Structure 1
Amino acid sequence: MAFDPERELSFSLADGTPLCVRSIRPEDRDFITEAFRRLSPESRYFRFWTRVRELNPRLIEEICSPDQKDHVAWVARHQTRDDIPGVGGASFWRLKEDATAAEVSFTVADEFQGRGVATLLLAVLWEHAVSLGITRLVGHVLHENVAMRAWWDALGATEQEAPRHWLTTLVLDESLLEDNSAGSSLRARLTQVRAWMNEENVLKD
């Protein structure tokens, strides 16, 4: 089942915060730039591995120009708060050397971290990836990023240590998810995303 990049998905966080999740578009450059500016220095460092204050315009252009096949990008935005430029975003790039794997990355606004945003975005990326024949998501996590490492570990991802970071690999097989809070939360979100996909196919039929 293919994803329709023109459709928006409506979700709520556990605390009731209403979100819309949709694919990133070229016209999103300004709000993505502002969302980046609002990140704490630590969040910027964990995402880009450098102490940058401004995003390179070329990188913004790249982020905002996904083809939704080899470069997939989704964003979560608050449904009722226009003053919040972005709640979170996630993307993956299919590996040139292995078309069944993709490198994944996440960014969540500081005030929304720890509230399930990354899990929601991972569920969307998971189903989108599977629809494209991708079976594994790999991530590069700095040694200092203890929270991200713990999350991947709780989901059942494998780790391989490198000099500065860990290479994590998550197989997109729901039966392999750990039987814990992280695994249960992801399973619940996967069920919601699949329901949206089924609704989309019914509408098309």
Structure 2
Amino acid sequence: MARDILIETLDGNRVRLRPMVPGDEGALRHAISQLSSHSRYLRFFNGAATLPDHVVRRLSDVDGNKHIAWAAIDESKDDKPIIGAVHAQRSSEEDKRGDFSIGLLDAWHSKGLARLLIALLAAESSKAGFEELIADVLWENKKGRALMGAIGAKSMGSDGSTIQFRMVLEEVLSKLSEKHISPAMDAVLIALEGDDFFESAA
């Protein structure tokens, strides 16, 4: 079974979901440059037009164990650009807790992609030994806070500017599996039921 899934968004766009690989660094850098300054601020807490190379390099430096990431690809474009990505990162293989982040190009918001990417990330991270992920969300990021609530993440408190959410992966997967959110989510959940899904080559 291939590790990529071709789905249609809620409005009919064809998107491929696949694991991110180190070779995606250039495509990821381009995707970040396409974010609006406000979206870059909400995602990176910094609205600068470009990010330091070491930040982009860290985001693309995936190993399938300490750093797991999935990308969404626009299948309608010849160059198949990255339009979104979700990450789970931890400092060592023994850590059960990691850091969570997600970003989508502005034009692809509210199309159901975030939950699809989170389901894939949660399933693979759980298989790799993660038990929970921590997400820091700016108070002003209403959509981000709503997403955390929708997937069952719980607030751990606030420092005044950000809210920290705890995502227990088993609970997140249960939340995303409890009803038919969309045909695309059904396709993702069916793929995740395959015993060999995460053993297949990317």
Q: Same fold (TM over 0.5)?
A: yes
The answer to whether the 8 Å contact 2:148/2:165 transfers is: yes
Over residues 109-132 of structure 1, what are the superposed CA-to-partner deviations in whole Å (9 max), with x where a residue is unaligned?
Answer: 100001111111001101101101
Identity percentage of aligned residues: 24
Q: Which blocks of at least 5 consecutive residues in structure 2 are unaligned?
A: none
Considering only aligned residues, what root-mean-square deviation do their CA atoms show, in Å?
A: 3.0
1:69 to 65, 70, 73: 65
Query: What is the CA–CA distance in structure 2 between the aligned matches of 1:30 and 1:58, rounded to whole Å?
Result: 13
For normalisation by structure 1, the TM-score amounts to 0.82
Show the counterpart of 1:192: 190
4+ long deviations beyond 3 Å: 95-98, 186-190, 197-204
Structure 2 partner of 1:59 = 55
Cross-structure match for 2:14: 18
On the 8 A contact 1:119/1:189 being kept in 2, the answer is no
SS where residue 144 of structure 1 aligns?
coil
Q: Classify the secondary structure of the residue corresponding to 2:136.
A: strand
SS in 1 for 2:181: helix
Tell me the equivalent position of 1:163.
160
Q: 1:133–1:121: structure 2 CA closer, same or farther, 3 Å change rule?
A: same
Unaligned 5+ residue runs, structure 1?
none
Q: How has the CA–CA distance of structure 1 residues 28 and 97 changed in structure 2, closer, same or farther, with 3 Å as cutoff?
A: closer
Task: Quote the Cα distance in structure 2 between the aligned partners of 1:177 and 1:91.
Answer: 19
- Residue 44 of structure 2 corresponds to residue 48 of structure 1: yes
Q: Does the 8 A contact of 2:7 with 2:187 survive in 1?
A: no
Q: Across the two proteins, how many residue pairs are aligned to each other?
A: 197
Structure 1 residues 55 and 105: CA distance shift in structure 2, 3 A: same
Cα–Cα, structure 1 residues 126 and 193, in superposed 2: closer, same or farther, change >3 Å? Answer: farther
Over 3 Å counting, the alpha-carbon distance change for 1:97 and 1:139 in structure 2 is: farther
1:38-88 CA-to-partner distances (Å, cap 9, x unmatched) read 111111001110121112111222112111101111111012313662221
Does structure 1 conserve the Cα–Cα contact (< 8 Å) formed by 2:96 and 2:131?
yes
Cα deviation for residue 108 of structure 1 reads 0.3
The aligned runs of 1:2-17 (5 Å cut-off) are 7-17=3-13
Displacement of 1:97 in angstroms is: 11
Q: Give the equivalent residue in structure 2 for 1:120.
A: 116
Question: Which residue in the other structure is 1:150 paired with?
Answer: 146
Q: Partners of 1:192 and 1:95 in 2: how far apart?
A: 31
> What letter is aligned with 1:35?
A
Corresponding residue SS for 1:45: helix
CA distance in 2, matches of 1:22, 1:100: 24
The answer to whether 1:109 aligns with 2:66 is no
Measured in 2, the distance between the counterparts of 1:15 and 1:202 equals 32
Q: Is residue 141 of structure 1 aligned with residue 159 of structure 2? A: no
